[in-house]
Amino acid sequence: MNIRITADSTCDLTEQIVAERNITVVPLTVSCAGESYKDGTEIVPDQLYEKIAASGQLAQTSAVNVQDYLDLFGALLKSCDAIVHFTISADMSACYQNACIAAQELGNVYVVDSRNLSTGIGHLVLDACDMAAAGTDPADIQRALEAKREKLDVSFVVDTLEYLRRGGRCSALAAMGANLLKLHPCIYVKDGQMGVGKKYRGKLIECISAYVKDRLADMDSVDTRRIFITDSGVSQECRDAAEQAVRQMGHFDEIIHTRAGCTVSCHCGPGTLGVLFYRK
């Protein structure tokens, strides 16, 4: 059975992985200063940051609409038997709802609400690719990964709360206090929504190392098959510090670095880095 794996651009997988695994990525729309762009194809995060700085306006993302899903799924079904599609958490976007409407109209499309974002989605997508290659039925892939999404551990440490403040996700007072105290909060995903966890104080590179060690403190509960280190634009020194901290905590079969797309970037801003993995 020929099964295609597709995902919204919020999965934050690298171009190399997407090409090697034959994954089709569906871009969300990013709007800034009165202009709209397709995430990852017409705009990338560094360009987005430039536009935000130049306009002084916060960027916004909007869901893939039903017609775009119909067009994509319809075209793919001409050369495959079924599609398994992954979306950002339904609590964060209308992508899941819109994809389900298109799937119901077309048939043979199985939509998975990741209940997550970024390479939390990416983990599910790669597992789906493995299952499809092994000949697993698409309905079984959908069921298995709806169960496995509950084991994802997804979080980020942010350099500044300014982007979250401007997006209405934290108060001006909290952002001001965090900036004055040089605090770098951990943003985590639980039950499909973002929350604020431990707050780290000091230089970003030091906070990143402490954050990684905290997340991996209980290595006995960690699935060491694969871990993503995903950032929205940090120095190579920070990326190296994150990987060094990961390696100090234990062995992973794969350590994959990725750059977050415009969805995470426009809400969290530059200087955001996360480690994303499964719990056992």
How large is the average pLDDT for residues 3-14? 98
pLDDT reading at 171 higher than 60: no
CATH of the domain at 245: 3.30.1180.10
199 and 256 co-located in one domain:
yes
**Chosen domain end from 128, 150, 172:** 150
**Chosen domain end from 150, 185, 209:** 150
pLDDT reading at 178 higher than 60: no
Max Cα–Cα distance, the chain, nearest Å = 57
Q: Read off the amino acid at residue 121.
A: I
Instruction: Name the least confident of 134-143, 175-184, 243-252, 271-280.
Output: 175-184
Task: Return the pLDDT at 176.
Answer: 41
243 and 141 co-located in one domain:
no
219 and 88 co-located in one domain:
no
12 and 145 co-located in one domain:
yes
**Contact call for residues 114 and 8 (beta carbons, < 8 A):** no
118 and 217 co-located in one domain:
no
**Chosen domain end from 103, 120, 150:** 150
163 and 257 co-located in one domain:
yes
pLDDT reading at 26 higher than 50: yes
How many angstroms separate the Cα of 55 from the Cα of each of 49, 51, 262? 10, 6, 17
Task: Return the pLDDT at 266.
Answer: 84
172 and 115 co-located in one domain:
no
**Contact call for residues 148 and 127 (beta carbons, < 8 A):** yes
How large is the average pLDDT for residues 31-52? 92
Nearest to 83 by CA among 100, 66, 63: 100
Tell me phi and psi for residue 86, to 5 degrees: -115, 135
Q: For the chain, what is the radius of gyration of the CA atoms?
A: 18
pLDDT digits (tens, 9 = 90+) for 196-255: 788 898 899 999 999 999 999 999 999 999 999 999 999 999 999 999 999 999 999 999
42 and 144 co-located in one domain:
yes
**Confidence class for position 268, pLDDT limits 50, 70, 90:** confident
How large is the average pLDDT for residues 158-179? 53
What is the extent of the structural domain holding 254?
A: 152-279
Number of domains the chain is built from: 2
64 and 165 co-located in one domain:
no
3-state SS string for the chain: CCEEEEEEHHHCCCHHHHHHCCCEEECCEEEECCEEEEECCCECHHHHHHHHHHHCCCCEEECCCHHHHHHHHHHHCCCCCEEEEEECCCCCCCHHHHHHHHHHHHCCEEEEECCCCCHHHHHHHHHHHHHHHCCCCHHHHHHHHHHHHHHEEEEEECCCCHHHHHCCCCCHHHHHHHHHCCEEEEEEEECCEEEEEEEEECCHHHHHHHHHHHHCCCHHHEEEEEEEEEECCCCHHHHHHHHHHHHHHCCCCEEEEEECCHHHHHHHCCCCEEEEEEEC
Mean predicted lDDT score pLDDT of the chain? 91
139 and 229 co-located in one domain:
no
Question: Among residues of the chain, what percentage have pLDDT more than 70?
Answer: 92
127 and 79 co-located in one domain:
yes
Task: Return the pLDDT at 202.
Answer: 87
Token pair recorded at residue 136 = 């697993």
pLDDT reading at 33 higher than 90: no
Task: Return the pLDDT at 163.
Answer: 60
CATH of the domain at 115: 3.40.50.10170
**Confidence class for position 162, pLDDT limits 50, 70, 90:** low
pLDDT digits (tens, 9 = 90+) for 47-91: 999 998 898 888 889 999 999 999 999 999 999 999 999 999 999
146 and 7 co-located in one domain:
yes
How large is the average pLDDT for residues 182-208? 87
